[in-house]
Copies of this chain bind each other. A is one copy, B any other.
Amino acid sequence: MSLTFRAAVKDRDLDVSLEVPHGRTLGLIGANGSGKSSVLAVLAGLVRADSGTAVLDGEELFSARVWVPPHRRRIGLLAQDSLLFPRMSVVDNVAFGPRSQGLSRPAARAVAQHWLIEVDAADLADRKPSELSGGQQQRVALARALATQPHLLLLDEPLSATDVGMAAMMRQTLRRVLAGRTAVIVTHHVLDAVLLCDRVAVLEAGRVVETGRTEEVFRRPRSDFAASISGLNMVRGVATGPDSLVATDGTVIHGEPDMALTPGDPALAVFRPEAVSVHRSAPGGSPRNQFLGPVTSIEPQAHLVRIQVGDLGADITADSVARLAIDVGESVVLVIKAAEVSLYHG
C-alpha cells in the first residue's frame, strides 16, 4: 500500500522515479523549472508521460497499457494557482469534491464547512472567489483539495501566498491532515519540509539528485540546492584524511566527520554562515579553516549582515561590519573553526 512512480516526459526533459510508503509524506524540492509541478501533473493524470508507470495502493494509474482518467484516480491535487471555480461561492467550491463523490448537497456542505473551519476561512463561505484576497484564495483551494479525502494528496506550494502567522497555523492543520495519509508536497520552504515531510526528494533539471530523511537532507545536504535552501555553505572535495578534504580549488578543510573519511573518496564539508567569522587579514592561532577572497556582496539579513565571498557566506553583526570597515571588492579572510564544519561522504 504505497505509491511507486516512474515517468519520463520528453518535451519537459523530465525523468523521475519516486516512492512514497503508505501514509507517509514526501517533500519535493528543487529550483524553478526543475519539474516539481510536472511530476504532480503526471500523477494527477493531467499530463501524459511518454513512458513509465505509477502504482498507487496496488492499482496501476498509468503505464504503457493502462490509463486511469484523472477523476477515477482518487488523487487530490492542489495546483500552484488556486483556480477556484469563479461562478461558485467559496463553500460550493469546497463542497464540489464531496458532491462529486456522491454526497448529498447538505452533507457535502457540512463537509465543506468543516474544512473551511480547518483553514480558518469559515467566514468567507458565501463569497465569490473574485472577492477574496490572494492568501484567502489559497486557503480555500487547500480546503477544497483536502475535502475530497483522496488516497494520495498532492500539494503544490500550498502556503506560498499565506502570511507568516497564518502559515504557522496552516502547518499545524496540515500536520494533522497528513497524519496517516500518503502525500507529496512541493515547497520552497525548509520549515514546511521539516514540519510536514518524512522524506524529501531534490529535483534538478527534471532528475532526482538526492533523496533522504528530511532532517538528514537539510543537515547533511548532498546537492547544491539542498545546501542552499538550508542556508548552509557547502564545499565539495576529496577526502585527504579521516577528518579533512581538499576542495577542487586546492583549499584544505578540516572538520568533524560523521564517520572517519576514507582518503581519496569524494567528500562534502558543510557549515553555517553564522559560524563563519570575517577578518581583514589571516588571524594567527591553532588549526583553523581559512578562505581568502574578495567580498562579492554585503547584504543585510533580518538581524545580521551577510558577507558573500564567492560561494561562501558569512553572517556577522552590523557592528562587526562597521568595525571591519569592509566594502565589496576588498579581500577578506573567512575563518571557520573545524568544530563547526561537518564532514561526510559525498
Contact = CB atoms under 8 A, between A and B. Distances in A.
Interface of A: 30-38, 80-81, 132-136, 139, 156-157, 160-166, 172, 188, 190-191, 194-195, 215, 218, 225, 228-231, 272, 297, 299-303
Contacts of A139: 32
Given A134-B80, A135-B33, A136-B33, A301 B191 contact: yes
B300 A195 contact: yes
B133 A32 contact: yes
Contacts of A160: 160-161
A179 to B, nearest CB: 15
A132 B166 CA distance: 29
Contacts of A272: 303
A157 B133 CA distance: 12
27 contacts: A31-B165, A31-B166, A32-B135, A32-B136, A32-B163, A32-B166, A33-B133, A33-B135, A34-B133, A37-B133, A38-B133, A81-B81, A81-B134, A160-B160, A161-B188, A162-B188, A163-B188, A163-B229, A164-B228, A164-B229, A165-B228, A172-B297, A191-B301, A194-B300, A194-B302, A215-B300, A272-B303
Nearest to A225: B165
B166 A161 contact: no
Instruction: Tell me which of A34, A81, A132 has the highest count of chain B C-beta atoms within 10 A of its own C-beta.
Output: A81
A81 B134 CA distance: 8
Given A31-B165, A31-B166, 13 more contacts: A30-B163, A31-B135, A31-B163, A32-B163, A33-B135, A37-B133, A38-B133, A165-B228, A165-B229, A172-B297, A195-B299, A218-B302, A272-B303
Instruction: Tell me which of A35, A229, A297, A299 has the highest count of chain B C-beta atoms within 10 A of its own C-beta.
Output: A299
A81 B139 CA distance: 15
Nearest to A156: B134
Contact of A161 (B80, B133, B218): B80
Nearest to A313: B168
A218 B81 CA distance: 30
